[in-house]
Structure 1
């Protein structure tokens, strides 16, 4: 029997509310999310759905929602049918396995469009990728915090990183990142399901495209993981988050090197 899923549509919704919902619902077993203009779609197996928990969370954020039931096979097929390749200048082309190669960019990644975050469509992923193009990667140790599909880790290896540690708290994302890593013939990426950065490592480049709430909580730890001369790239941030994030970075003696903006989102690059 084909399993069914509860589809919860939050609408209308602000970007910051969407970020908080994704972070909270991921911890409650939700397996996939899709962000649309003014809406967030969240999916969980019907057998795991808890209406009281959902109502309490939505109420705490003053977000309205409606619920419907979908069949998993139809949901995945529909999601894939709407996936389009993404090209970022002459630097990068991101496509699914069922798309033809472009062949006219410096790098091309094959990212299977499962329900993990990071297909290149979202402004924050594009901001991170564009900033990554400016950095020197050969022989660098890289940490990808909140790796999603693995897109940033895969690009880091393609650009010459010596080794990449990628973590995500969502098992679905880790499994998807493994698939994408294999599809792109990567062998320097270590993927771990975790919601906490490692305790005693040092990295030359840290990538954190996640959300403001988690970044504010984890910035002190991320700062301790940054090797001398290292670079810390942050996104998943709205323009209104900039002041608070910069204040924390100042307290940690991190220096702001670059700020980029796209569609109301920002990327900050910091270093000691």
Structure 2
């Protein structure tokens, strides 16, 4: 599988905005430098329409420009990203790549994540928001669904925080393989099931206590009703991959469903929305 590497000359204050736009176009690998943003996408998922949209987007910001498009073969992404993915402490979790020698302190829970091309290393604000939030939820003995699992980091964290079983799905081949490798790396492969595909991989009768979805606004708007259907009454749904400007449209969507918003957390321009599925009164 070949990828496109797209390099932007871009001021740091625009990085998060551009990452959100690029995620909507199926970009799922990012490197951030002082005045440069590098993004990766499966070549087959990129077309002339995507290119035209990006050119229009970048032209709206005076002084910012593309640097280059580069086609690159599949490679060892750990080596490519070793300088940018660093250990992070997120609540009681220590998230680190395998090449780091950082060790957890007493009481810390270790998550070792090799990123490859999958999104979800703890490096992005949306992942941090989700990891903080699930530490506030009682996961002991629960069944958890992780929609758009990426590296599998949320599914793995849920099990390490007490979940009995986690099902994660993703429609990107590198995510399928990477997530499965990370479950083995963290010795939770017997409790985490990774499925290749979209929401259709979840059986009609499968019900979960907690549902996690760190994707993007457009996908969340589309699949939220289905996620609600697969969450038990009184269950919790956590949504991220959202910018603060997305809050109103998400609220409008939530009002059409038998759920209620119980919390909104924010880091920089990104938000997490926690939703409770209403219990039906007899």
Q: Is the 8 A contact 1:7 1:44 kept in 2?
A: no
Render the CA deviation track for 1:49-104: whole Å, top value 9, x for unaligned: 96635434535756664313556558652312332101114x11001112224221
Render the CA deviation track for 1:149-194: whole Å, top value 9, x for unaligned: 0000001111111111100110101100111100000011110111
Q: Is the 8 A contact 1:80 1:113 kept in 2?
A: no
Render the CA deviation track for 1:32-58: whole Å, top value 9, x for unaligned: 52153773512446xx59663543453
Instruction: Report the equivalent of 1:136.
Output: 138
Residue among 232, 239, 243 paired with 1:234 = 239
Residue among 87, 106, 109 paired with 1:107 = 109
Unaligned runs of 5+ in 2: 60-64
TM-score by structure 2 length?
Answer: 0.83
Q: Is the 8 A contact 1:18 1:40 kept in 2?
A: no
Q: In structure 2, what is the Cα distance between the partners aligned to 1:4 and 1:138?
A: 41
1:237 CA displacement: 0.5
| Other structure's SS at 1:81 match | coil
Render the CA deviation track for 1:202-226: whole Å, top value 9, x for unaligned: 1100000110110011111111111
Residue among 24, 36, 39 paired with 2:32 = 36
Instruction: Report the equivalent of 1:97.
Output: 98
Instruction: Report the equivalent of 1:8.
Output: 6
Instruction: Report the equivalent of 1:195.
Output: 198
Instruction: Report the equivalent of 2:262.
Output: 257
Q: Is the 8 A contact 1:110 1:180 kept in 2?
A: yes
The structure-2 alpha-carbon separation of the partners of 1:9 and 1:106, relative to structure 1 and needing over 3 Å to count, comes to: same
Q: CA RMSD in A?
A: 2.6
Q: Which runs of 4+ in 1 moved over 6 A?
A: none
Render the CA deviation track for 1:235-261: whole Å, top value 9, x for unaligned: 111111111111111210211111111
TM-score by structure 1 length?
Answer: 0.85
Larger CA deviation: 168-177 vs 56-65: 56-65
The structure-2 alpha-carbon separation of the partners of 1:125 and 1:62, relative to structure 1 and needing over 3 Å to count, comes to: same
The structure-2 alpha-carbon separation of the partners of 1:138 and 1:5, relative to structure 1 and needing over 3 Å to count, comes to: closer
Instruction: Report the equivalent of 1:29.
Output: none
Instruction: Report the equivalent of 2:62.
Output: none
| Other structure's SS at 2:255 match | helix
Matched, 1:178 2:174: no
Q: Is the 8 A contact 2:78 2:114 kept in 1?
A: no
| Other structure's SS at 1:156 match | helix
Matched, 1:224 2:229: yes
